[in-house]
Amino acid sequence: MPRNTGKAALARVLAEARACRLCVDHLPLGPRPVLRASVTARLLIVGQAPGTRVHATGIPFNDPSGDRLRDWLGIGPDIFYDESRVAIMPSGFCYPGRGRGGDLPPRPECAPTWHPRLLPLMPEVKLTVLIGAYAQAYYLGDRQAATLTETVQRWRDYLPDFLPTPHPSPRNLLWLWLRRRPWFEVDIVPELRRRVRKLLEL
């Protein structure tokens, strides 16, 4: 597909996704799909779902989770928010609301409805970072291990297409997870940074 044709097709699907009201009855703050994509993006970030700050601003990972994620990737906001390089497409595009233990899971309708329509229009994506269990379940399917820790520990099995990570949210007691699993920051983060630098030609 010629780039101009692909760009127009992606723009149409993005407009439809941003106007989506599929889950309107289940969203306490109403629908506000947050995602970014381009036909030239080489890195795809698939996270969980927007939090309240992201819902308010419309800017993905505009919170402490994003700060830590950018540190893991080894890039600053200027590159992270450059749509021509980095696509950001969560498992759920809208804030799902809160439950007893924190934010609710992403709405189950979202990824199956939109990801298969958007991914083919991003032909340059070479690496997808799968943040958290929901993204890993959707993209890895039966290849996902029994727990998030085991999936992340088996990261080499999913390369070169995918690299799984925990969610960078401090609400998830990430510091405790990392303290008990130092191999993540010793082994995986440097490899993730190396691949991102190479991929984005930094």
pLDDT of residue 3 exceeding 70, the answer is no
Return the half-sphere exposure (C-beta side, CA atoms, 13 A cut-off) of residue 150: 7
CATH number of the domain that residue 142 is part of:
3.40.470.10
* Chain position carrying tokens 């709405």: 107
**Closest by Cα among 120, 186, 196 to 163:** 196
Q: Any idea what DSSP says for residue 176?
A: H
- pLDDT by residue (tens digit) across 83-94? 999 999 999 999
Domain ranges, residue 46: 3-200
2-24 mean pLDDT: 92
Q: Give CA 169 to chain center in angstroms.
A: 13
pLDDT of residue 101: 74
Rounded Cα distance between 29 and 24, Å, is: 9
Number of domains in the chain: 1
The amino acid present at 83, given as its one-letter code, is E
- pLDDT by residue (tens digit) across 100-132? 878 899 999 999 999 999 999 999 999 999 999
pLDDT of residue 28 exceeding 70, the answer is yes
Query: Which residue did the predictor score with more confidence, 85 or 171?
Result: 85
**Closest by Cα among 89, 86, 68, 38 to 199:** 86
51-57 mean pLDDT: 94
- pLDDT by residue (tens digit) across 174-201? 778 888 999 999 999 999 999 999 999 9
